Amino acid sequence: MTKDNKPEDIWERLDRIPRHVFYTLLLGLMIVSLLVPLGLPIKVGAATRKFYDIVDAVPNDGVVVFDISFSPGADPELGPQFTAILHHVFSKPVRVLFTVFVQDGQMMLQIYLDRLKPETYGKVYGKDWVNFGYRAGGISAMAELAKDMTFFKTDYKGTPLSELAVMKGVKDYRDVSLIITVTTASGGLSSPEDWVQQWATPYKTPLLVAMLKMMIPNTLPYFEAGQVKAYMGGTDQAAEYELLVERPGKGLAYTDALTNVHLLVIAFVILGNVGYLVRQRRKKP
């Protein structure tokens, strides 16, 4: 009922739809979209193509520092990106050094290594790749690593780095071909900004950032200035990367559901504005 006890019509009710209606519609649409995918085509964008090309251009026996800085909370969005990039990197004859500066990163890395199984790519631990394990200290540790790649002294199991063939000839930032960070970390831990400040700007080491879609605006200034060479944000780009590396995964699987959900949110916005504008019009004498 309105203030003067007239019954509300549908236009005015549009202004005050209960939130549970949205939650139910959203959940229902997600379930239907996942169960009945439409298989809509997608195109590979320039940003994803650039990311792919830079990874592909790492020379044989090049050293890639691969930083894992995300928690299970970001797994649905970063997991597909990480899987596709890891598949690409392991498919190349390069050395991979995994760094972890956030608490959950160690477990997330382990989960994905258990899934991807480096040995199926012919990769041998200690010879082709190493896991430095979690180190507290955030940017302190990151800054020192640039000066001395053996700063951590041991890998995650306690094996001295001097005993691992993968570290042969790797002394400092000059021996690193590329940094890839898969991150949701905030400043001071292992955020894109930290890698830009501690590695990419002072030492000009090429830096690629894979992150949540909502982090892209904060990273764009660095990308435009050339401090970040390429970025990947969001499941849409993960889907494009999966196409490029020919390994379909969750990125492609979520594409249709994402389309439907976005259209639903737009419908909510339009409904809200229609109801609001009608109310405003009717208030005017």
Partner 1 sequence: MSEVLRKNVPLAITFLIGMVLFVEWFLAVPQIGVAGTALRDFGVTVSAFALGLGAINLFALHGGHIKARTKNQWIYSLALLAALLLFIIVGVQQGVQGSQYKWIYNNIIVPLSATMYGAIGFYIASGAYRALRARTKEATVLLITGVILLLRNAPIGPALWDGFPIIGSWIMDIVTTAVYRGIMMGSSLGILALGIRTLIGMERGYLGRE
Partner 2 sequence: MISTDIGVWIAAFFTIFIMSYAYKDNPLFKFAEHVYVGAAAGHAVVMGIVSASTSSWIPLTKGQIIHIIPLVLGLLLYTRYHPRYYWVSRYPIALLVGLGTAISIRTVIAANFTQQIAATIKPLSAVPLTNFNNLVVLVVTVTVLWHFLFTQHKLATGNFGLIGKFGRYAMMVAFGAAFGNTVMTRMVLLLGRVDFLLFEWLKLR
Residues that bind partner 1 (CB under 8 A): 17, 19, 22-23, 26, 40-43, 45, 71-76, 103-104, 106-107, 110-111, 135-138, 140-141, 143-144, 147-148, 151, 156-157, 213, 216-218, 220-221, 223-224, 234, 236, 239, 255-256, 258-259, 262-266, 268-269, 271-273, 276-277
The Cα–Cα gap between 1 and 268 comes to 23
Closest CB to partner 2 among residues 90, 155 = 155
CA dihedral 214→217→223→229, nearest 10 degrees, is 10
Residue 1 Cβ, how far from partner 2 at the closest point, in Å? 26
Cα–Cα distance between 81 and 257 in angstroms, integer? Answer: 17
Q: At closest approach, how far in Å is the CB of 99 from partner 1?
A: 12
Taking the complex as a whole, the smallest distance from the CB of residue 67 to partner 1 amounts, in Å, to 16
Is residue 39 close enough to count as binding partner 2 by CB under 8 A?
Answer: no
Q: What residues have CB less than 8 Å from 164, skipping those under 6 apart?
A: 126, 127, 130, 155
Among 99, 131, 190, 227, which residue interacts with partner 2 (rule: CB under 8 A)? 227
Measuring CA to CA, which residue among 173, 239, 224, 169 is closest to residue 200? 173
Runs of H (alpha helix) within 57-138: 75-90, 105-116
For partner 2, what does the binding mask look like between residues 7 and 26, x meaning CB under 8 A? -------------x--x--x
Candidates 112-120, 166-174, 219-227, 271-279 — which segment interacts with partner 2 by CB under 8 A?
A: 219-227
CA distances from 163 to 121, 149, 157 (A): 23, 14, 12
> In the Cβ-directed half-sphere of 272, how many Cα atoms lie within 13 Å?
9
Residue 280, judged by CB atoms within 10 A of its CB (0-12, 13-18, 19+), counts as: exposed
Residue from 14, 63, 69, 77 in contact with partner 2 (CB under 8 A): 77
Taking the least distance from each CB to partner 2, the nearer of 16 and 153 is: 153
DSSP E strands, the chain:
63-69, 95-100, 129-134, 178-183, 207-211, 230-233
d(CA 240, CA 233): 11
Q: According to CB under 8 A, which residues from 81 to 110 bind partner 2?
A: 103-104, 106-107
91 makes contact, choosing from partner 1, partner 2, none, with CB < 5 to 8 Å by partner type, with none
Residues within the interface to partner 2 (CB under 8 A)? 20, 23, 26-27, 30-31, 34-35, 73-77, 79, 103-104, 106-107, 133-140, 143, 152-154, 156, 158, 187-188, 193-194, 196-198, 200-202, 212-214, 216-217, 221-222, 224-227, 233-236, 250, 253-254, 257-258, 261-262, 265
